[in-house]
Amino acid sequence: MVNDAVTLGLMADFGREAKQQGFAVLGTASACEDAARAMHLENWLESGMHGSMAWMAERAHHRRSPQALWPEARSVICLGMSYAPALDPLLLEARPDLARISAYAQGADYHDVVKKALKRLARWLVAEASSGGHGEIGVKVFTDTAPVMEKPLAQAAGLGWQGKHTNLVSREYGSWLFLGEIYTTLDLPQNAPEPDNCGSCKACQDACPTDAFPAPYQLNARRCISYLTIEHKGAIPHEFRKAMGNRIYGCDDCLAVCPWNKFATAAHGHRAFLPRAELAAPELADLLTLDEAAFRKLFSGSPIKRIGHGRFIRNCLIAAGNSGQPQLIPLVEKLRGDADPIVAEAAGWAAGELGALKP
């Protein structure tokens, strides 16, 4: 039997190791089900707010709690890696000739960076637990893609709270944390959950260009530009096209306006997420000329490659239609004959929008 002091010592060493692996913050939560959390997920799915993300519903029975996914799990170690940007992500709003790529996607793909760091840490934990007398322990690591409710778990582990925009906000690292977890069979002491510090603020809700929040703490993904540009496969619904402006991949608006970000500096950011020069403020004209091979080359190692060439060009065409830049017309016209009907339709719309500017 291992005593509490040994476990606390192990976790103190683990904390140091996590920092070495690039994590800014960590905490521990229970793997048991939380009824309110599971109910909110159920309500959200029942109301269809997940849109076409069928994978959210398909494994909802696993997503509802850590033990539903892995009954042997006893504790969840939640970790956050910072990608705090050096520049305000809203700066490019006034530059319709340039495309806006969300801050999280201007550097390396976090799925790769966080997953690798989690695996290294999990291996360290297994080895140290074994040599420290805990015997053989089980671990599983996750970031983003698994059926795990990462934000409420991180709140329970004391990393921050779910703000009214639904993302986790940290007192120290603001809105700019990627989340990852290690589920383990180890019984670990738990952190106190972080209380909600939003107060009467509603800056994030007011900032949303598509009115995607039916109520505080609830997001209708079908209206969210992040969903429309990344997850949605068909034509972009007309009602959201103007509001998308020059955002071609994701959206940072509700995060960027959060007052808690004044404590998050770029110095906190992991260097893997420093913006690649060619992705910080790309010219729309350059992006519209990318063919499939050039798209793959430019976005190798970036999360943007996941949406594929067609969806990417569709997004750029919406931005072109919103740009008021008649010099883009020849590039847009060329894409009207594209074999992909979604691209061809978006090109037709953009040409109409730009043509309407001509006398």
Q: Which residues are catalytic?
A: 144
Only one of the segments 114-122, 196-204, 329-337, 342-350 lies at the binding site for ligand SF4 (rule: CB under 6 A); that segment is: 196-204
Of 184-192, 213-221, 323-331, 351-359, the window that binds ligand B12 (rule: CB under 6 A) is: 213-221
Distance CA 48, CA 275 (A): 35
Minimum CB–partner distance for residue 222 and ligand SF4 (Å): 11
> Which residues does residue 25 pair with via DSSP β-bridges, in sequence order?
80
219 binds ligand B12 (CB under 6 A): yes
- The token pair that represents 168 in the structure block: 């986790």
Q: How far apart are CA 293 and CA 298, in angstroms?
A: 9
C-alpha gyration radius of the chain: 22
Q: Which two tokens stand for residue 100?
A: 């806006």
DSSP label of 173: T
Q: Whole-angstrom Cα distance, residue 321 to residue 48?
A: 29
Residue closest to ligand SF4, measured at CB: 163
DSSP 104: G
Using the rule CB under 6 A, which residue among 69, 154, 248, 258 binds ligand SF4?
Answer: 258
First to last CA, the chain: 83
Nearer to ligand SF4 among residue 224 and residue 236 (C-beta):
224
Q: Which stretch binds ligand SF4 (CB under 6 A): 61-69, 144-152, 201-209, 320-328?
A: 201-209
**Binding of residue 319 to ligand SF4 (CB under 6 A):** no
Strands 139-142 and 161-162: unpaired
248 is an interface residue for ligand B12 by CB under 6 A: no
Residue type, 197: N
Number of CB atoms found within 10 A of residue 53's CB: 15
Site for ligand B12 in 165-194 (CB under 6 A): 165-168, 177-179
Binding site for ligand SF4 (CB under 6 A): 163-165, 169, 198, 201-204, 207-210, 212, 219, 224-226, 251, 253-254, 257-260
Residues that bind ligand B12 (CB under 6 A): 37, 40-41, 44, 53, 56, 102, 104, 143-144, 148-152, 162, 165-168, 177-179, 217-219, 221, 224, 226-227, 230-231, 250-252, 254-255
